Amino acid sequence: MDSAVTDRELQNLHDGGIRGIRFNFVKHLGGVPDLGVVNRLVARIKPMGWHVVLHLDAEDLLTQQDLLRQIDVPFIIDHMGRVRAGDGLGQHPFQLLLDLFDTNPLAWIKVCGSERVSVGKRPFLDAVPFARALIAVDSQRILWGTDWPHPNITKDMPNDGALVDLFAEICPDPEVRQRILVDNPSRMYWADSAI
């Protein structure tokens, strides 16, 4: 698949403002991609200064440790690694995520997807401790978003306004909110352009 994308096409994407690629590992969406393709594309985007977004199932935090250690560009773990709130903060996948985030300066985390982490229904408050724990590690490598339009939601469809309110619960400190909502995305996505 990666050979189908030419260098010129990558450059056109770059010229159009694209700064990252996303790989999906989630089982119900196709599962683990070809890791050879992942490694080759990461090598190709590195000189362009792009990053990688990884959409993982919680168990992938266990099985993809080698990949997570070898990625040599900034990478974002989407949806807090889709850990399960019902398994508690002490669950092995979440502890691995905390350790990865603490020890690898290339790792970033999106503290979005509370509806995917939660075992309950709106307002998904059981996801709050997970997001807070990640923010406590390093709020300078945290991103957030509503995940609109919420593809593949099989549980309670979230209300985006309520998710904004939930983020205020996740991050009550206005300075840290500014960092997560403005400063961090500016560094990740627009560092090489005048804003």
Q: Which H or E run contains 62?
A: helix 60-63
Active site residue 173: no
Residue pair 158/112 in contact (Cβ under 8 Å)? The answer is no
Distance CA 73, CA 182 (A): 21
SS3 for 143-192, per residue?
ECCCCCCCCCCCCCCCCHHHHHHHHHHHCCCHHHHHHHHHHHHHHHHHCC
Nearest to 87 by CA among 97, 72, 78, 77: 97
Out of 57, 60, 78, 147, the active site residue is 147
Kindly report the number of other CB atoms within 10 A of residue 57's CB atom: 23
Distance CA 175, CA 178 (A): 5
Distance CA 13, CA 25 (A): 23
Active site residues: 147
